[in-house]
Amino acid sequence: MRPTTLRVALIQQNTVWQDPSANLSQAREHVEAAAKAGARVAVFPELFTLGFTMAPEPFAEPLPGPTTDALATLSREFGIYLVGSVVESHLPHPCNAAFVTAPDGALIAAYRKLHPFSYGEENRHYTGGTECPVFEVDGVPCGLQICYDLRFPEPFRALAAKGSEVVFVPANWPARRISAWSTLLAARAIENQMAVCGVNRVGRDPHLEYPGKSAIHDAFGAVVAMGGDTQERVIGDIDLGQLRAWRERFPALKDRRTNLYPLL
C-alpha cells in the first residue's frame, strides 16, 4: 500500500564554489539530521557539489560515478532517499543531471535538465536532456526538474500525465528573480494537482546572490514548509491522501483537449 504522507527535507545549503570535497563533507551532517527528523527523502540544490558553474568540463564525471557513489553511501547509512545533481560527462558538452539514490544504495533515477539557461549562457556549456523519467519513493510516483525548467509548464504536465504525485526541483535561483521562483512553484503545483518541492541554495557565488526560500507546495499550491535566507533544512509533510482525493474529486487533468493543442 502506498503511503498517505511523505516527509521531505530540502537541504538549503550554502554551496562552496567549485569545491566538491568541501560540499560533500557537509552533506553527511545534513542527511543525518534529515533522517533523524523522519524525512524519507532529502533533496540538495542544483549542482550541490560545485555551484552553478559555466566551466563544467573539469568537474564532469560519469553517472554513476563518484558523486552518486557518495550519496549512495549516505542513503545506505541513514536509510533515506537522496536527490543530488552533478555535471555528467557527455559530448559535445556535459549535462546538468539530477539523480536519486535509494535506501539500499541503488541509483534509481537520472534526469538531464531539459532547458539549459540561455540567458546565462548555460546552453553554450551544457547539453540539454530529452526525457522526463518517473521513479518511486516508497511507492509514490515522483519526477525531477532542474531550476530553469520551472518556467516551462510542459514537462510538469508530462510528469502529471505519467502519474507523478511529487516533483522535486533542485535550483540555483538568484535573489533578483525570487518572486518568480515562489510564484512558479505554486503554479506548477496548482495546474497539475501535484506537490512541488523546490530547493534553492543560499549565499553567493562569484556572480550572484541566492536567497533560499526553498519550499514545499501541496496540490492546491499552498505552502507546506518554506525556508528563510540562511542555511537550513526545510522539512514538511506532503498529504498524499488529500492530493489523491483532490485529483479524484476535481479531475481537471481529464478535461485536457490534447487533440487541439498541436494547433495552438
Rounded (5°) CA angle 18-24-26: 110
Compute the distance between CA of residue 103 and CA of residue 107 in angstroms, rounded to an integer: 10
Helix axes 20-36, 66-78, angle to 10 degrees: 20
Candidate list 46, 61, 165, 232, residue with the active-site label: 46
List Cα–Cα distances, 225 to 23, 65, 99, in angstroms: 24, 32, 23
Compute the distance between CA of residue 112 and CA of residue 97 in angstroms, rounded to an integer: 4
Candidate list 61, 88, 95, 113, residue with the active-site label: 113
- How far is C-alpha 94 from the chain's CA centre? 19
Compute the distance between CA of residue 22 and CA of residue 121 in angstroms, rounded to an integer: 26
Candidate list 132, 142, 147, 197, residue with the active-site label: 147
Compute the distance between CA of residue 23 and CA of residue 28 in angstroms, rounded to an integer: 10
* Active site (annotated) includes residue 113: yes
Q: Decide if 42 contacts 81 (C-beta within 8 A).
A: yes
Rounded (5°) CA angle 171-174-180: 85
* Active site (annotated) includes residue 147: yes
Phi, psi for residue 49 in degrees, rounded to 5? -90, -5
How many CA atoms are closer than 13 Å to the CA of 90, on its beta-carbon side?
A: 18
* Active site (annotated) includes residue 197: no
The DSSP result for 67-125, as a single string, is HHHHHHHHHHHHT-EEEEEEEE--SSS-EEEEEEE-TTS-EEEEEE-SS--GGGTGGGT
Mind telling me the catalytic residues?
46, 113, 147
